[in-house]
Amino acid sequence: MENKSTKKLNKVQKAAKVLKEKGPFEVVKKTVSSLNRPYVYMNWFKKNRASKQELEAQRNSHFDYEPKVSILVPTYRTPIPMLKEMVASVTSQTYGNWELCIADGSVGARIDENGNAVEEDKSTLKVKSPLQDVLSELSAADPRIVYKVLSKNGGISYNTNQALEMATGDFIALLDHDDILEPNALYEIVEALQDPDARIVYTDEDKATYNLKKFMDPNFKPEFSIDLFRSHNYITHLFVCKTEIMRKVGGFNSTFDGAQDFEIMYRCIEEALCENLVPGTRIPTNEIRYGEERVRRIIRHVPKVLYHWRLVKGSTAENPESKMYAYEAGRLAIQEHLNRAGTPAKVEITSLWGMYHAKYEVVGLPLVSIIIPNKDHVNDLDNCIRSIIEKSSYKNLEFIIAENNSTDDATFKYYEKIKDEFKNVKIVKWEKEFNYSAINNFAAGFAGGEYLLFLNNDTELITDTGIAEMLAICERKDVGIVGAKLIYPDETVQHAGIVLGFRDYAQHVFCGIGREDYGFMVRARINVNYNAVTGACLMVSKADFEKVSGFSEDLPVAGNDVDFCLKIRELGLLVVFNAFSEWYHFESKSRGYEDTPEKKARFEKEIDLFRKKWGEKIDKGDEFYNPNFSLKKAPYEVG
């Protein structure tokens, strides 16, 4: 048997072999995948779930505001053991002001010897529900459990609306008939509701085996992220909404059965945000700005795993293929949401189950000024320009090349040639010392476009719709900046968003994974909100660029792109990572790496300045990153 030292040595030897044969990025991928093994999460969950002492303290405590929470559960042929486990998870809650509203549509089903409902028997359609006696016993044992036996199974939306009719609480919580709540779920929800502005609350969740012995596949969520939500239903469970809002929007719509929760979430979120925080005022649906601070006060996220989605045969949790119709309903839910907002877009189902691509349409034909700083390296620059001219489906473009102290005569000959060949190419000369921020600001002054695309000279457009994708999102009223997915020549990811807090600064996420790899919860393959994206490929309106005075010139090399994004975020605007705009990036070919003592010292000086400017925001935590993830490990790894 191997001892610990031998095992450790073998791991090192294996890593060295992978490093030698396949390179450093394969080592990263192997390391990250090993950290995602189920036992890693199980160990984390055991350490982080509420202890017996904490649960007892919660039972003995009180809030200033103690609203009643009505939990809606539509049941249909629910196995009796599962029904009892679901109910027990509610009755064991440390917060007591709740009611459990069960609408049962199981009339006509039969129960086998194990207590499981089986196929409907037409000869018994007039017979009572097989769950009725159990529900009666449960209600008698705890009057907070109320139920209604329906005369028919009207479908998930109809049945849930029947449960909603019974609700007398201030807030509605949605619970599936075979799932489980952590005992502190409602306590944590009500704690979030102590903020009087809160209208909607959601929590983190995971999946559980049929026998509830193992927990896995955690969904650690960000604060409310509209672009992530338009990509898939990341909120799912546990979702809690003010009852008045859910009734006002008309309850559940059977047109969207299979994605009925997703669809009603959109309408509830819209209504909650239309209410505004100023009494007596409303905001039109098409004027909601999802990047504003008020959104996070109205829609609250509790970053704790409080809901267990049970892996049951035939459920979407166990087998995503089992409900393909649900994905079409989800697509329609997003489309209707965008239609209500007056946002021109077409929603498509991607090749990844349950993931969507909201393809926004460019409004008008605005000029996009592509700003590219350059020092020599004309082959890279030429490749960059030609890739755009030859591939881009969007053609109303101009190129502003910011010449930055080139020394090769061939560079200047190239400039004359490219200007003659393409009349939409301008060359402007920066003759001062290198300062990336100042160079870009200088070049932006020559831009005639409504939108600016800042681009490194060592990039190459891959996706023909890449610029159109970025522009259409950038035109949205709630968006300030759009970034793209950047790929190394070896088909691994260089950039797919930036998270604040790593090294007290910021870090790219998913760097080194394969181009087609999913990343955590598929976020490397869908549109997502972050606080920052790389300046190597970044689009912003010229108006917003000027509002924040462009890039900060006291950050000449490091941190200026993240700093710029944070300044735009302060306007209440979103930063969007667009996974469908793909570019190759031959990183740092022109400038080189921070690999000398002088460059390292300069880098640290600039990062120190960045921290002085944004330290408070970093300390508060990146709202688009879950606090359960460690900032000392690889991105999207639990602490």
pLDDT at res. 594: 57
Q: Are 107 and 153 in contact (CB under 8 A)?
A: yes
Residues 570-601: b if buried by 16+ CB within 10 A, e if exposed? eeebbbbbbbbbbbbbbbeebbeeeeeeeeee
Average pLDDT over residues 210-227: 94
pLDDT at 22 over 70: no
* Structure tokens given for 291: 């990047």
* Structure tokens given for 270: 């819209």
C-alpha distances in Å from residue 200, one per residue of 142, 162, 163, 369: 27, 21, 19, 41
Amino acid symbol at 507: Q
pLDDT at 506 over 90: yes
pLDDT at res. 45: 94
pLDDT at 14 over 50: no
Q: Are 446 and 429 in contact (CB under 8 A)?
A: no
Q: Are 421 and 543 in contact (CB under 8 A)?
A: no
* Structure tokens given for 182: 């952590």
C-alpha distances in Å from residue 524, one per residue of 204, 239, 257, 428: 20, 25, 29, 36
Average pLDDT over residues 567-578: 98
pLDDT at 38 over 90: no
CA dihedral 551, 552, 558, 562 (to 10 degrees): -60
Dihedral class, residue 250 (left if φ above 0, else alpha if ψ from -120 to 50, else beta): left
Angle at 315 between CA 310 and CA 318, to 5 degrees: 65
State whether the Cα torsion 271-276-280-281 is positive or negative. Answer: negative
DSSP 514: B
pLDDT at 571 over 90: yes
In sequence order, the 6+-apart residues with CB closer than 8 A to the CB of 80 are 111, 115, 116, 131, 134
In 3-state terms, what secondary structure has residue 189?
Answer: helix
C-alpha distances in Å from residue 360, one per residue of 93, 442, 497: 44, 31, 20
Measured from the Cβ of residue 459, the count of other Cβ atoms closer than 10 Å reads: 24
Higher pLDDT, 44 or 107: 44
Give the integer Cα–Cα distance in Å for 75 and 39: 32
Question: pLDDT digits over 628-638, tens only?
Answer: 999 998 899 98
Q: Are 453 and 370 in contact (CB under 8 A)?
A: yes
How would residue 37 be classed by pLDDT, with cut points 50, 70 and 90? low
Q: Are 249 and 267 in contact (CB under 8 A)?
A: yes
Give the integer Cα–Cα distance in Å for 190 and 67: 7
User: Where do the domains of the chain lie, and which CATH numbers do they carry?
Assistant: 4-48 (no CATH), 53-311 (3.90.550.10), 368-620 (3.90.550.10)
Percent of the chain with pLDDT over 70: 88
Q: By C-alpha distance, which of 476, 358, 411, 512 is closest to 18?
A: 512
DSSP 277: S
pLDDT at res. 160: 97
C-alpha distances in Å from residue 370, one per residue of 183, 477, 575: 54, 21, 19
Give the integer Cα–Cα distance in Å for 564 and 558: 11
Question: pLDDT digits over 69-79, tens only?
Answer: 999 999 998 99
Give the integer Cα–Cα distance in Å for 130 and 119: 12
Q: By C-alpha distance, which of 274, 298, 278 is closest to 287?
A: 274
Residues 170-181: b if buried by 16+ CB within 10 A, e if exposed? bbbbbbbbbbbb
Question: pLDDT digits over 256-311, tens only?
Answer: 999 999 999 999 999 999 988 888 889 999 999 999 999 999 999 999 999 999 98
In sequence order, the 6+-apart residues with CB closer than 8 A to the CB of 448 are 367, 369, 398
Average pLDDT over residues 568-590: 89
Average pLDDT over residues 579-586: 96
Question: pLDDT digits over 383-416, tens only?
Answer: 999 999 999 999 999 999 999 999 999 999 999 9
DSSP 311: -
Beta bridge partners of 479: 574
pLDDT at 468 over 60: yes
* Mean pLDDT, the chain, integer: 90
Angle at 16 between CA 14 and CA 20, to 5 degrees: 120
Q: SS3 letters for 406-441? A: CCCHHHHHHHHHHHHHCCCEEEEEECCCCCHHHHHH
Q: Are 498 and 509 in contact (CB under 8 A)?
A: yes
Give the integer Cα–Cα distance in Å for 128 and 131: 8
Lowest mean pLDDT across 53-57, 241-245, 424-428, 429-433: 429-433
Query: The whole model's pTM is what?
Result: 0.90
The residue with tokens 């610029």 is 467
